[in-house]
């Protein structure tokens, strides 16, 4: 066998050791301080691990290992978010049970993760599709059901008769199914909703207590969208009904010139006159056929129909025509608005299109050109009792006026809507709910949980829009053995988010069949100290989990109001991609050098036609020197077959279609897991988006190789360079500065600079003849969170027979961190002219005296008058001269 650093033997050896010895087992209720460090668990897809997953996992692993060295009892678990659509779609195609697909995908993921040497406590592994897990997901649902936080509502779904199934919003394009192009209709269906809106205020207010990225907190605030305003009632002319609207700007009531109802608004029928009925019905049908996406994104041009009805403006008794339009959404506010076209761009466009009056009520704009919307501190006009008032006072005055007369009141409105919790799918948690013959609902008794997913051969949709469970008659019908009463089971299943809302709690007590987790253990481990994952879950997963956690807090299951105190998002890892361009018919292939770019789009140089990018796999790219005769010439990427076609290099999200996916397995087998981990952390700050360059892994492998050769000889034994004894002062200083730097950087999650410090120390040690053990050992410990396999191997070679995982972290000696002398930059008028080595104890006068006699400084001071001397000890000396 080849001597030298060989990760392919070292790494499996230590991985097996850690597993056998359960090295990373977390101890429930130990005397040590606890540290709960959590990764966002993955969906085990068929395509395996991606280089993006291990980025966050490596970061948390470094921290987990570091905390163990620092004497913490660390909980660092991993599991599988394994319900979901891909396994079900695969089942429909191949007939393979999603459970089998899940089992084999989990095995692949687990193998890949274990080969990276992460220090998870595998005894706590969880899987959301395990009945002993989803029993508790169902249990939590029941607690919500009991507290009226889960309720049934008629909610439209994207129903596709052509496919006989319900589609997700992203599966619908232009009102047609993505697959097959069949028409899609909005069909109301009775579905479960979770009353997250009941927690809106707490979800919003408690954000302030969290150490989370400001951007995520801001996204959640926007998502919740709490707005203060007023609800105002507009009586309908000739009807007992009133139209209630929500507005953030009651001050503009005098500017209202018409009303608009959402097409689905319940009052539409009542206000519509017979003459308008046909038109109104036609418009309603058209709106019903559009998906939400179309109604918002695509329909920029205002459409609508007059109902024939009128409402009375409560502030001035003016009659306002009532229209319907799909720019008003039934799901926000009251589903109806007062239109103030002078000061709202949407209303302005609508008024222009249908020739409705536009009135100015806040001074300052030109409402003949556009709505004047910068009206936060304007002065009211044309507004009766409000004339001359500033906006803020007008809002108060009119709200009080409305309240006094019972025509409206101050109100708070949220953008957040209740959570649609039903899916018409097989591969999800069944609801623990029964329907009586009369259609009323009943909870499955808790002792009968879990409600198991039934076995079936067919995962195909039922054809009615119900889930495949609806076709399994033997499962659906249920007769109470005592009373003989007959029930039917709920056939919808829960969405993929469900299991993720509480998984961090199950790690605490993963095998408990009496409770979702033991209260004592919960109090010990919670809250999560650090949660790391991708920013794509900024809103939904993190908001839903906070919601469930607060529900569990209210019923006394958990002891903290929030699940995770600190959150960090790792930035996405991108890949270099190379592309040329083709026209629609693909008859021509053009390079970057042959096309024109306009607004980021490639255009044909002659026809001006917009060209489509065509990606080439990175391995196919031919590199060509710009100047063949110049050895230093830059190289450019070229098409492999076409001589003159230069490729465009772009950095983009990794995807199969772009040919820029990097497979971690390949990197690990070629360079080793330690080098892979090191590179992922060395690329740049964790939170930042950054491109992958496989060359960089090679640099890390070289570093590890140099560390190995520093301490080991050619036979794989401890090098004779390693000696007993103490280091000299310069080496001791180096070591302790590195200890301080690496410790600080790990705490700050600045792993890239911590690694740079380790490389520097290694480079320095290579110049030494002898490496004292008292230097080698701390060095190996400092390296161990980053490159644990190599560190264990070196630790063993240094004569230890146990893992280094719980060895105390080296402590920096403060007295060795300060140098006796410092190199001081000397400036004249802010420009560096020389440097001066001075003792840190030198006085200002001594330093200045030495500095002015430096030749280059003297030259710049010659014939000038010093007007000011700035001296910051140990930092800078600057002479301002005239």
Partner RNA sequence: GCCGGAGUGGCGAAAUAGGCAGACGCGCUGGACUCAAAAUCCAGUGGUGGCAACACCGUGUCGGUUCGAGUCCGACCUCCGGUACCA
* Smallest separation, CB 22 to RNA (Å): 35
Site for RNA in 202-231 (CB under 7 A): 214-215, 218-219, 222, 225, 227, 229
Kindly state whether residue 618 participates in binding RNA, applying the rule CB under 7 A: no
Choose, by CB under 7 A, the member of 118, 134, 531, 703 that binds RNA: 703
* Nearer residue to RNA within complex by CB, 259 or 444: 259
Element spanning 285, H or E:
helix 277-289
Kindly state whether residue 655 participates in binding RNA, applying the rule CB under 7 A: no
Kindly state whether residue 246 participates in binding RNA, applying the rule CB under 7 A: yes
Kindly state whether residue 455 participates in binding RNA, applying the rule CB under 7 A: no
Element spanning 113, H or E:
helix 98-114
Detail the DSSP E strand segments found in 215-353: 227-235, 242-247, 258-261, 305-312, 319-324, 336-339
The mark string for 538-577 relative to RNA (x by CB under 7 A, - otherwise) is: xx--------------------------------------
From CA 410, how far away is CA 427, in angstroms rounded? 45
Kindly state whether residue 413 participates in binding RNA, applying the rule CB under 7 A: yes
* Nearer residue to RNA within complex by CB, 573 or 804: 573
Kindly state whether residue 632 participates in binding RNA, applying the rule CB under 7 A: yes
How far is the CA of 401 from the CAs of 244, 395, 407, 490, in angstroms? 17, 10, 9, 50
Kindly state whether residue 50 participates in binding RNA, applying the rule CB under 7 A: no
Kindly state whether residue 248 participates in binding RNA, applying the rule CB under 7 A: yes
From 50-58, 196-204, 459-467, 745-753, give the range in contact with RNA by CB under 7 A: 745-753
Three-state SS string over 813-839 comes to CHHHCCCCEEEEEEEECCEEEEEEEEE
From 12-20, 89-97, 711-719, 754-762, give the range in contact with RNA by CB under 7 A: 754-762
Kindly state whether residue 536 participates in binding RNA, applying the rule CB under 7 A: yes
List the Cα angle 229/231/232 in 5-degree steps.
125
* Nearer residue to RNA within complex by CB, 684 or 728: 684
* Nearer residue to RNA within complex by CB, 510 or 785: 785
* Smallest separation, CB 447 to RNA (Å): 40
Q: How many residues bind RNA (CB under 7 A)?
A: 91
Strand partners, 151: 193
Kindly state whether residue 172 participates in binding RNA, applying the rule CB under 7 A: no
* Smallest separation, CB 747 to RNA (Å): 11
From 18-26, 177-185, 402-410, 864-872, give the range in contact with RNA by CB under 7 A: 864-872
Nearest to 118 by CA among 512, 564, 664, 653: 664
* Smallest separation, CB 261 to RNA (Å): 9
From 133-141, 160-168, 700-708, 791-799, give the range in contact with RNA by CB under 7 A: 700-708
* Smallest separation, CB 410 to RNA (Å): 13
Kindly state whether residue 328 participates in binding RNA, applying the rule CB under 7 A: yes
* Smallest separation, CB 102 to RNA (Å): 26
State the chain's maximal CA–CA distance in angstroms. Answer: 111
Choose, by CB under 7 A, the member of 759, 781, 783, 847 that binds RNA: 759
Kindly state whether residue 690 participates in binding RNA, applying the rule CB under 7 A: yes
From CA 111, how far away is CA 105, in angstroms rounded? 10
Nearest to 667 by CA among 42, 55, 103: 55
* Nearer residue to RNA within complex by CB, 215 or 273: 215
Whether the CB-CB separation of 817 and 836 falls below 8 Å is answered with no
Kindly state whether residue 579 participates in binding RNA, applying the rule CB under 7 A: no
Choose, by CB under 7 A, the member of 53, 76, 249, 506 that binds RNA: 249
* Smallest separation, CB 186 to RNA (Å): 15
Whether the CB-CB separation of 77 and 110 falls below 8 Å is answered with no
Three-state SS string over 448-495 comes to HCCCCCCCCCCCCCCCCCCCHHHHCHHHHEEECCCCCCEEEECCCECC
Kindly state whether residue 644 participates in binding RNA, applying the rule CB under 7 A: no
Question: Read out DSSP for 733-745?
Answer: HHHHHHHHHHHHH
* Nearer residue to RNA within complex by CB, 217 or 492: 217
* Smallest separation, CB 535 to RNA (Å): 6
Kindly state whether residue 820 participates in binding RNA, applying the rule CB under 7 A: no
Whether the CB-CB separation of 106 and 80 falls below 8 Å is answered with yes
Choose, by CB under 7 A, the member of 22, 403, 856, 866 that binds RNA: 856
Kindly state whether residue 121 participates in binding RNA, applying the rule CB under 7 A: no
Site for RNA in 828-847 (CB under 7 A): 829-833, 835
List the Cα angle 20/24/28 in 5-degree steps.
115
Give the pair of three-digit tokens for residue 358: 């536009």
* Smallest separation, CB 213 to RNA (Å): 7
The residues, ordered by sequence, that sit 6+ positions from 80 with a Cβ below 8 Å of its Cβ are: 41, 42, 43, 44, 102, 106, 109, 125, 126, 127, 128, 129
* Smallest separation, CB 48 to RNA (Å): 23
- What is the DSSP secondary structure assignment for residue 295, as one 8-state letter? I
Site for RNA in 335-374 (CB under 7 A): 335, 337, 340, 344, 346
Kindly state whether residue 688 participates in binding RNA, applying the rule CB under 7 A: yes
Kindly state whether residue 670 participates in binding RNA, applying the rule CB under 7 A: no
Upper half-sphere CA count for residue 642 (Cβ side, 13 Å): 16
Is residue 833 exposed (0-12), middle (13-18) or buried (19+ Cβ within 10 Å)?
Answer: buried
From CA 471, how far away is CA 468, in angstroms rounded? 6
* Nearer residue to RNA within complex by CB, 488 or 693: 693
From CA 69, how far away is CA 785, in angstroms rounded? 9
Kindly state whether residue 872 participates in binding RNA, applying the rule CB under 7 A: yes
Alpha helices in 649-721 (DSSP H): 664-671, 673-682, 694-711
Site for RNA in 60-119 (CB under 7 A): none
Site for RNA in 369-408 (CB under 7 A): none
Q: Which residue carries 């920013």 as its tokens?
A: 535
Nearest to 695 by CA among 713, 670, 720: 670
Kindly state whether residue 308 participates in binding RNA, applying the rule CB under 7 A: no
Choose, by CB under 7 A, the member of 825, 839, 853, 864 that binds RNA: 825
Tell me how crowded residue 616 is: count the other CB atoms within 10 A of its CB. 21
The mark string for 285-304 relative to RNA (x by CB under 7 A, - otherwise) is: ----------xxx-xx-x--
Site for RNA in 592-611 (CB under 7 A): 600
């Amino acid at each position: 066998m080849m001597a030298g650093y060989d990760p392919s033997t070292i790494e499996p050896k230590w991985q097996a050791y850690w597993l056998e010895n359960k090295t990373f087992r977390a101890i429930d209720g130990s005397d040590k301080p606890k540290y709960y460090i959590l990764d966002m668990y993955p969906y085990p897809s068929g395509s395996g691990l991606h280089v993006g997953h291990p980025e966050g996992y490596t970061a948390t692993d470094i921290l987990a290992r570091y905390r163990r060295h620092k004497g913490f009892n660390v909980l660092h678990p991993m599991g599988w978010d394994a319900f979901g659509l891909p396994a079900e779609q695969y089942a429909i195609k191949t007939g393979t049970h999603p459970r089998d697909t899940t089992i084999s995908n989990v095995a692949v993921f687990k193998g890949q993760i274990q080969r990276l040497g992460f220090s998870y406590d595998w005894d706590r592994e969880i899987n959301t599709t395990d009945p002993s897990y989803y029993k508790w997901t169902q249990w939590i649902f029941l607690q919500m059901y009991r507290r009226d936080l889960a309720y049934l509502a008629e909610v439209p779904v994207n129903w596709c008769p052509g496919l006989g199934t319900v589609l997700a919003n992203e599966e619908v394009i232009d009102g047609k199914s993505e697959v097959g192009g069949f028409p899609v209709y909005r069909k109301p269906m009775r579905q479960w909703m979770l009353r997250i809106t009941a927690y809106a205020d707490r979800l919003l207010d408690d954000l302030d207590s969290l150490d989370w990225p400001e951007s995520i907190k801001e996204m959640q605030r926007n998502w919740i969208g709490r707005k203060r305003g007023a609800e105002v009632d507009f009586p309908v002319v000739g009807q007992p009904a009133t139209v209630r609207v929500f507005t953030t700007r009651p001050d503009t009531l005098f500017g209202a010139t018409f009303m608009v109802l959402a097409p689905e608004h319940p009052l539409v029928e009542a206000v519509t006159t017979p003459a308008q009925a046909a038109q109104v019905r036609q418009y309603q049908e058209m709106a019903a056929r559009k998906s939400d996406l179309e109604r918002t994104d695509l329909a920029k041009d205002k459409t609508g129909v007059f109902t024939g009805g009128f409402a009375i403006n409560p502030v001035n008794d003016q009659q306002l025509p009532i229209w319907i339009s799909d720019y008003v959404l039934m799901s926000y506010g009251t589903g109806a608005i007062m239109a103030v076209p002078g000061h709202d761009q949407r209303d302005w466009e609508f008024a222009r299109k249908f020739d409705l009056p536009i009135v100015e009520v806040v001074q300052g704009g030109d409402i003949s050109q556009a709505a004047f919307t910068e009206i936060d501190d304007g002065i009211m006009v044309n507004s009766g009792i409000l004339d001359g008032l500033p906006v803020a006072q007008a809002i108060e005055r009119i709200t009080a006026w409305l309240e006094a007369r019972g025509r409206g009141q101050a109100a708070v409105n949220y953008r957040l809507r209740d959570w649609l919790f039903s899916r018409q799918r097989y591969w999800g948690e069944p609801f623990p709910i029964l329907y009586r013959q009369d259609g009323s609902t009943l909870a499955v008794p808790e002792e009968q949980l879990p409600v198991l997913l039934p076995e079936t051969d067919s995962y195909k949709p039922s054809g009615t829009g119900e889930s495949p469970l609806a076709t399994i008659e033997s499962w659906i019908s249920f007769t109470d053995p005592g009373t003989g009463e007959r029930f039917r089971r709920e056939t919808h299943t829960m969405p993929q988010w469900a299991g993720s809302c509480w998984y961090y709690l199950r790690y605490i007590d993963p095998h408990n069949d009496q409770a979702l987790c033991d209260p004592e253990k919960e109090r010990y481990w919670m809250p999560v100290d650090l949660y790391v994952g991708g920013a794509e879950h900024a809103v939904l997963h993190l908001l839903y989990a906070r919601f469930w956690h607060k529900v569990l807090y209210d019923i006394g299951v958990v002891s903290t109001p929030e699940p995770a105190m600190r959150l960090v998002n790792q930035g996405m890892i991108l890949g270099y991609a190379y592309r040329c361009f083709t026209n629609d018919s693909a008859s021509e292939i053009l390079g970057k050098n042959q096309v024109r770019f306009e607004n980021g789009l490639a255009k044909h140089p002659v026809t001006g036609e917009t060209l489509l990018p065509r990606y080439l796999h990175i391995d196919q790219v031919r590199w060509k020197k710009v100047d063949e005769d110049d050895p230093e010439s830059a190289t450019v990427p070229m098409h492999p077959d076409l001589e003159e076609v230069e490729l465009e290099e772009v950095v983009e999200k990794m995807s199969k279609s772009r040919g820029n996916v990097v497979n971690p397995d390949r990197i690990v087998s070629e360079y080793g897991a330690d080098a892979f981990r090191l590179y992922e952390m060395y690329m740049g700050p964790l939170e930042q988006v950054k491109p992958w360059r496989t060359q960089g892994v090679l640099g890390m492998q070289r570093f590890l190789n140099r560390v190995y050769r520093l301490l080991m000889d050619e036979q794989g034994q401890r090098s004779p360079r390693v000696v007993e004894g103490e280091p000299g002062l310069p080496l001791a200083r180096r070591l302790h500065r590195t200890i301080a730097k690496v410790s600080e950087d790990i705490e700050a999650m600045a792993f890239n600079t911590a690694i740079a410090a380790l490389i520097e120390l290694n480079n320095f040690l290579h110049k030494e003849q002898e490496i004292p053990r008292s230097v080698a050992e701390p060095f190996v410990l400092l390296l161990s969170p980053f490159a644990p396999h190599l560190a264990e191997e070196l630790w063993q070679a240094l004569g230890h027979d146990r893992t280094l995982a719980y060895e105390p972290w080296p402590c920096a000696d403060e007295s060795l961190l300060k140098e006796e002398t410092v190199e001081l930059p000397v400036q004249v008028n802010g420009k560096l002219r020389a440097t001066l080595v001075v003792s840190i104890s030198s006085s200002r006068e001594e330093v200045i005296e030495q500095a002015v006699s430096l030749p280059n400084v003297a030259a710049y001071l010659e014939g000038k008058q010093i007007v000011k001397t700035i001296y910051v000890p140990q930092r800078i000396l600057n002479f301002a001269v005239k």
